[in-house]
Structure 1
Amino acid sequence: MSEQSTIRWDEPESDGIVVLTLDDPEQQANTMNERYLRSMETTVQRLEEERDRVSGVVITSAKSTFFAGGDLRELIKARPENVDRTVETSNTAKQQLRRLETLGIPVVAALNGTALGGGLEIALGCHHRIALDAPKARFGFPEVSLGLLPGAGGVVRTVRMLGIADALLGVLTQGQRLRPGKARDLGLIDELVEDTDTLMRRAKEWIRENPEANQPWDRKGFKVPGGTPSDPKFAANLPAFPANLRKQLKGADLPAPKNILCAAVEGAQVDVDTALTIEGRYFVELLCGQTSKNMSKAFFFDLDHVNSGGSRPGQQPEWSARKVAVLGGGMMGAGIAHVCAKAGMEVVLKDVSAASAAKGKEYSAGVLEKDLGKGRITERERDEVLGRITPTESGDQLAGCDLVIEAVFEDPEVKHRVYAEAEQWISEDALIASNTSTLPITDLAEGVSRREDFIGLHFFSPVDKMPLVEIIRGERTGDEALAKAFDVVRQINKTPIVVQDSRGFFTSRVIGTFLNEGVAMLGEGVSAASVEQASAQAGFPAPVLQLFDELTLTLPRKIRDESKRAVESAGGTWTGHPADSVLDRMVDEFDRRGRSSGAGFYEYSADGERLGLWNGLAEHFAAGSTDPSEISFTDLKERMLFVQALETVRCLDEGVLTSVPDANIGSIFGIGFPPATGGVVQYMNGYPGGLRGFVERCRQLSARYGTRFEPPASLVAKAESGEVFDVGEPDTEVVSATAGV
């Protein structure tokens, strides 16, 4: 049986206008896969053969979205060893669109929904773009977030449409997903319409009005808007582009933005066809590289596995919360109340006093005012969200709540007291959750009567911005409670990872190793500036000492002391860390407790502005006494990566983690592990030489810096047998370079 085409050819009227409908018969969304390329080749060839009788072409889609992008199942297979085929495929996609735009007849894209990545490239290969002004429609090039660049003419055409600067900043290097109005204002879309009937009618009208349509860059005398490096005024500002890019990347080694910049600037100085060749070379280099594999794995495959319920008990029915009690109106409780109300839940925000509860609601009002000012919401939407939050000091207001989220002081006795009070009023089958970041859920469950309905929901600050929630299952937590917790996290539009109970769970436990390693370097005589620069160049979003100040120096120390007591009370032996003495002196001797106290590793102004690293670090910790020539900057960077990876292996060994995707997504979204690595487990799998190379490097670091870098036996066994950590297969039917990223 012959393969069905992904492009349907129709001529509904006798006016010579051909309607090409993108409709992959084997997928829920159209993607730029091999079927598409074969179908487009046949279609373009037919158009070339029949162009004398064809008056115009409309390209639209039968799917809910116009076109999803490149097919990652195919793209992720690209390797240096099959680069010739990769180049051929890339060239084919570009040449087809080039032939389409030079047919000599008008071609219009009728965008009935989202067009991202390859979908937008198809649209830009048309002479005119009309889009449905749908609330969920988005347009743009998110490829940079996967370590790639638009490889089917996206860089070349946006530069010629918008100019180098606007193309780079507005479309290419940030991976923006633009709403229809913004895409029109920027110039990617020419017209917006309200319904599909008008969409098709306007497309055909435009063809009749513009029978001689062609692309601006194919007209004699065309110049790139804003100029090119050959123009003296533009050339004078050219050094600002790499400088701004370095500032944006903060020293992180992300090749995609650099390749995009090069393709844009170099391509603007040559003709279109040569520019497409330049773009293709930079694209293939990225596609065959490790960074794009890492980022594609994390931001599509792993993220889809997590969000689609890979760690959710599948036999449980879907559930949604109606009325939630948030216990504690502080920063975390206020943030949790906000995201719940925004998701449509009725929220009772309870604190010890009405004033404290009201202050918690004020936080939500502040966030909403900022959203209103930026045009993200309307006044009506703001008022509706605020109307769903009821601040109170009275326990009877909790009546009928089917979800409780506790966010009070990190003291088990305090938490037990608020659970006891809440249980008097809430529904008999309510899910009860704690937002603790480190205290064992099994121990906290001792304070409730229905331990099977008790679970941990660890949010991250600020709650309204951080995308992750860590779900912690206690020893007595039932499948129904776990499924409910998962559904609640998705209900509030967050990403859930599921871990088993352990002090510090996964995220707090692993980020603690990162913080300690940075402080240990100070104790070795490494200058604080070098420590910060190493963590930035490794790809962490915040330098390690700066992050420590934000979290406060007292909280990690408190967690350390509690963990020590727990280990010793269980008959174990506590092993100290080289960072301990530095941290203790900072707090006890110098009273520097972090940003909230006005003094930490950094100096702060009276209003909390960060002023610079504390000069006393060099004086009191011999920072800078080590000869810079003896410091391996690679070691500094890798130490901060390796300690987290090794702690993750221990979490897997202990059963705290049961899913590699949960580990990867949790490390990126929760603790800022560098996105270019693909997450903490993918970092080990993708390390040069695989796990064998990683283990060998562990032993080098262990010999130089201590046994905390010694690889666990399970990791050594995997390496010696040639294995990698099981990454699983994605559950999605369609894997595109843009959907779900």
Structure 2
Amino acid sequence: MTDSAETTDTMIRWDRAEDGIVVLTMDDPANSVNLMNDSFFASLKSTVERLEADRESVTGVILTSAKRSFFAGADLTVLRRTAPERAPELTRASDELKGLLRRLETLGRPVVAAVNGAAIGGGLEVALACHHRIALDTEGSVIGLPEVTLGLLPGAGGLTRTVRMLGLQKALADIVLTGRLFSPRDAQRHGLVDVVAASPEDMLGQARRWVLDHPESAQPWDVKGYRVPGGAATSHTFLSQVVVPFSATVRNRGRGTPMDAPHHILAAAVEGTQVDLDTALAIETRYLAELACGQISSNMIKAFHFDSEHIAKGGSRPEGHPRHQARKAVVLGAGMMGAGIAYSCARAGMEVVLKDVDLEAAERGKAYSRTILDKAVERGGIGEHERTAVLELITPTTRAEDAAGADLVIEAVFENTELKKKVFAEIEPHLAPGAVLGSNTSTLPITGLAQGVSRPEDFIGLHFFSPVDKMALLEIIVGEKTSDATLAKAYDIARQLGKTPIVAGDSRGFFTSRVIGTFINESLNLISEGAAPASVEQAGLQAGYPTAPLALCDELNMKLSQKVRKEAIEGYAADGRTLPHQPAYDVIDRMVDEFGRPGRLDGAGFHEYADGKRVRLWPGLADAFGAGTADIPLIDMVERMLFVEALESVKCLDEGVLRSVPDANVGSILGIGFPAWTGGVLQYINQYEGGPAGFVARARELAERYGERFEPPASLVGRAERGELYEWPRNRTGV
């Protein structure tokens, strides 16, 4: 016999068996996942009160979920709306939640979390308030505290409890500051869960046995004599040997950007080890409120949750077309990009024909997949059987006829229009009817390339980013004759590959290459003006770019920049136009032609290299370009880089090259390294002090000082005058 009753709210179901074990099943009726919202608060409050009232008849508690996931964390819709004036409200809510979780873990009865699926952020924090955690080993389940990636910290007790469970250094370095999401078994290895179960029945069975075997359960920190693993940050030795070096690491990682979350995490953790648990929880709340009510977390939540969700749900996918799954792919060209694309296709379960003019090159392309898979086996991420199965899907070849029946082609040969047309002409007769004809070009207009195939309606740009196995973005480019059916297929293929797709209209450079080109040019314009190279690099890092601008130029190679510019000049000429000249072009030409320093590949660029590693900036820059002779404020350098990309993105939206605001924001962060703290290129305009109006005023100031390229487009000026933000959904003109 069991007694079953709903709580005051219907989110937590109560089931008590004859042995006195209460199973609490979370099931938010208003959402597909359990969220930390008002419904959860009300349900938890009534549940805890009932447990306390019925304590003598309760043997123990098992907390689980009726959803496919365990708990998805905080309701980000609420957090996105926070502002400084809401800090007291957020503090009260956080303190109330922590108080309820504290009452649960001090109930005096064993409490087990039966984590039947993903436990992310607040979801894991709820589980950490339990005495024992059993995770179901189910596909797609992830466990972790990703708050730092949203500009936040785990504020429902997660930071305080992980530090007390694992120690300051391990909790921060492995869990909280990385924001990593772990598989159930990896979570067990890192100490976030205690046991991994093979089936739901096994999970609940183990939970019951643990409850019965541990009737007097308490958290380690509630046991007399408890000490934080590794010690608390109270002694001079601990502070000097652990905290100070760790603080330096966090500061260096921040590089002077406005990202406060890592600093606040460290501060809350260190301060929390010096006091009792309840005071530590209050300290955690104080730092959370400051982050959650600031602009940076709002930016990052918008980009990494709302904009990303818009894309994942097919925001730019044409409606009315059936879902598509590619089965056999042909990759043309087995260089680094082609090899990476072949690997991604095989990992997605496609049969892959990796074709090159040279069989040895094609074999090397397959070997790239072997190397990645071997490392995954060594780490324990996959087994030998899975490794073998993926490799067997890849067939290196020089024969076009091996493409027979393929429903997807991805061309990844050199950026040469005639060569691309040639390889398509050779492969097209062997393909299945309606096969998607994809080109991995990063700059060449798709409409022109489509003239080399018999079915231009099936031709589309599939612009991958290097390294393909690590970069999440796929830029889909629609040509003049590309059909909506082909676009829908391409969108589905991107999702099949595990990529985040954005959709761009056809133009030279599309969105990503066009916009990142303005960033590189602006960095080199600074060099031409006599800016100190070290300051240019520092400005890029302080802006939040993942790679300093001159180092990026070296990585991309300036010979390639010259080649792309030559193609652009020819393209402009064909349209009866002239490519506007920039001083950056003169810098590139002199670096390549006069000094023989095209970049890292050649062992010499803006930096000097030894054994392929960057050593220092080339001292010759001073004589070559008068480096350091100009007095340009660092803030101007920083904002010139950010503004020039944001302004170019507005033009892309105006011209229909961009189809949505989310595509712009997510694409800029994932594809070209626009600083994550901004929320993306268009959100950067929204969040600038004074909003779009403040951005317009600053842009005009930069234009007056540095050139007309900073003049804001009329569409942006109009938006600023109307007091409008760049939001979504939007049509092709962004209005």
TM (norm. structure 2) is 0.96
RMSD over aligned Cα, in angstroms?
1.5
CA contact (8 A) 2:144 2:175 kept: yes
How many Å separate the matches in 2 of 1:511 and 1:240?
35
Match of 2:356 among 311, 328, 351: 351
Match of 2:89 among 85, 92, 97: 85
CA contact (8 A) 1:512 1:556 kept: no
Which residue matches 1:294?
299
Match of 2:612 among 608, 611, 627: 608
Residue 494 (1) aligns with residue 499 (2):
yes
Match of 2:368 among 352, 363, 367: 363
Residue 684 (1) aligns with residue 685 (2):
yes
Alignment-mate amino acid for residue 434 of structure 2:
D
How many Å separate the matches in 1 of 2:39 and 2:499?
35
Per-residue CA distance 1:685-722 (angstroms, 9 max, x = gap): 11111101110110111111111111011100000110
Tell me the secondary structure at the aligned position of residue 658 of structure 2. coil
Which residue matches 2:4?
none
Which residue matches 2:72?
68
CA contact (8 A) 2:251 2:263 kept: no
Per-residue CA distance 1:370-400 (angstroms, 9 max, x = gap): 2222222222212111111111111111111
Tell me the secondary structure at the aligned position of residue 424 of structure 1. helix
Q: What does 1:299-310 correspond to in 2, within 5 Å?
A: 299-310=304-315
Alignment-mate amino acid for residue 257 of structure 1:
P
Which residue matches 1:507?
512
Return the offset for 1:482.
Answer: 0.7
Residue 6 (1) aligns with residue 7 (2):
no
Bigger mean CA deviation after superposition, 159-168 or 249-258: 249-258
Residue 196 (1) aligns with residue 197 (2):
no
Per-residue CA distance 1:162-206 (angstroms, 9 max, x = gap): 111111011110011122222223222122222222222222222
Gap change, CA 1:52 and 1:428, over 3 Å in 2? closer
Bigger mean CA deviation after superposition, 354-363 or 158-167: 354-363
Which residue matches 1:141?
145
Which residue matches 1:175?
179
Alignment-mate amino acid for residue 541 of structure 1:
P
Alignment-mate amino acid for residue 214 of structure 1:
A
Match of 1:208 among 208, 212, 237: 212
How many Å separate the matches in 1 of 2:211 and 2:160?
24
Residue 333 (1) aligns with residue 313 (2):
no
Tell me the secondary structure at the aligned position of residue 658 of structure 1. coil
Per-residue CA distance 1:650-685 (angstroms, 9 max, x = gap): 001111001100011110110000111111111111
Match of 1:37 among 32, 36, 41: 41
How many Å separate the matches in 1 of 2:453 and 2:289?
57
Gap change, CA 1:291 and 1:409, over 3 Å in 2? same
How many Å separate the matches in 2 of 1:377 and 1:188?
21
CA contact (8 A) 2:9 2:42 kept: no
Bigger mean CA deviation after superposition, 278-287 or 208-217: 208-217
Per-residue CA distance 1:299-325 (angstroms, 9 max, x = gap): 111111112211111111111111111
Alignment-mate amino acid for residue 671 of structure 1:
I
Tell me the secondary structure at the aligned position of residue 56 of structure 2. coil
Which residue matches 2:132?
128
Gap change, CA 1:256 and 1:728, over 3 Å in 2? farther
Which residue matches 1:27?
31
Which residue matches 2:121?
117
Residue 235 (1) aligns with residue 236 (2):
no
How many Å separate the matches in 2 of 1:659 and 1:24?
32
Which residue matches 1:739?
none
Match of 2:168 among 151, 155, 164: 164
Gap change, CA 1:718 and 1:484, over 3 Å in 2? same
Return the offset for 1:406.
Answer: 0.9
Tell me the secondary structure at the aligned position of residue 353 of structure 2. strand
Bigger mean CA deviation after superposition, 713-722 or 16-25: 16-25
Which residue matches 1:696?
697
In the TM superposition, structure 1's runs of 4+ consecutive aligned residues that sit over 4 Å from their partners are none
Which residue matches 1:588?
593
Residue 400 (1) aligns with residue 405 (2):
yes
How many Å separate the matches in 1 of 2:130 and 2:262?
26
Tell me the secondary structure at the aligned position of residue 636 of structure 1. helix
CA contact (8 A) 2:114 2:133 kept: yes
How many Å separate the matches in 1 of 2:545 and 2:210?
49
Alignment-mate amino acid for residue 312 of structure 1:
R
Which residue matches 2:415?
410
Which residue matches 1:635?
636
Tell me the secondary structure at the aligned position of residue 610 of structure 1. strand
Which residue matches 2:714?
713
Match of 2:484 among 479, 485, 488: 479
CA contact (8 A) 1:131 1:189 kept: yes
Tell me the secondary structure at the aligned position of residue 667 of structure 2. helix
Residue 219 (1) aligns with residue 187 (2):
no
How many Å separate the matches in 1 of 2:569 and 2:60?
75
How many Å separate the matches in 2 of 1:99 and 1:680?
45
How many Å separate the matches in 2 of 1:481 and 1:110?
44
Residue 285 (1) aligns with residue 290 (2):
yes
Unaligned ranges ≥5, structure 2: 1-6, 731-735
Which residue matches 2:263?
258
How many Å separate the matches in 2 of 1:163 and 1:8?
35
Which residue matches 1:735?
none
Which residue matches 1:387?
392
Tell me the secondary structure at the aligned position of residue 689 of structure 2. coil
Which residue matches 2:650?
649
Match of 1:459 among 464, 471, 493: 464
Which residue matches 1:317?
322
How many Å separate the matches in 2 of 1:575 and 1:323?
43
Return the offset for 1:50.
Answer: 2.0
Which residue matches 1:737?
none
CA contact (8 A) 1:226 1:234 kept: no
Alignment-mate amino acid for residue 723 of structure 1:
E
Per-residue CA distance 1:627-654 (angstroms, 9 max, x = gap): xxx4311111111100000000000111
Alignment-mate amino acid for residue 278 of structure 2:
D
Which residue matches 1:733?
none
Tell me the secondary structure at the aligned position of residue 465 of structure 1. coil
CA contact (8 A) 1:538 1:674 kept: yes
Residue 97 (1) aligns with residue 101 (2):
yes
How many Å separate the matches in 2 of 1:177 and 1:423?
42
Tell me the secondary structure at the aligned position of residue 430 of structure 2. coil
Which residue matches 1:244?
249
Unaligned ranges ≥5, structure 1: 730-741
How many Å separate the matches in 2 of 1:203 and 1:187?
17
Match of 2:440 among 435, 442, 453: 435
CA contact (8 A) 2:8 2:43 kept: no
How many Å separate the matches in 2 of 1:457 and 1:209?
57
CA contact (8 A) 1:108 1:129 kept: yes
Alignment-mate amino acid for residue 121 of structure 1:
E
Identity %: 56
How many Å separate the matches in 1 of 2:587 and 2:198?
63
Tell me the secondary structure at the aligned position of residue 409 of structure 2. strand
How many Å separate the matches in 2 of 1:499 and 1:222?
58
Tell me the secondary structure at the aligned position of residue 641 of structure 1. helix
How many Å separate the matches in 1 of 2:135 and 2:341?
37
How many Å separate the matches in 2 of 1:207 and 1:464?
44
How many Å separate the matches in 1 of 2:668 and 2:30?
34
TM (norm. structure 1) is 0.95
Alignment-mate amino acid for residue 527 of structure 2:
L
Tell me the secondary structure at the aligned position of residue 423 of structure 1. helix
Return the offset for 1:573.
Answer: 4.0
How many Å separate the matches in 2 of 1:198 and 1:427?
47
Which residue matches 1:444?
449
Residue 424 (1) aligns with residue 425 (2):
no
Tell me the secondary structure at the aligned position of residue 130 of structure 2. coil
CA contact (8 A) 2:79 2:298 kept: no
Return the offset for 1:231.
Answer: 2.6
Return the offset for 1:3.
Answer: 7.7
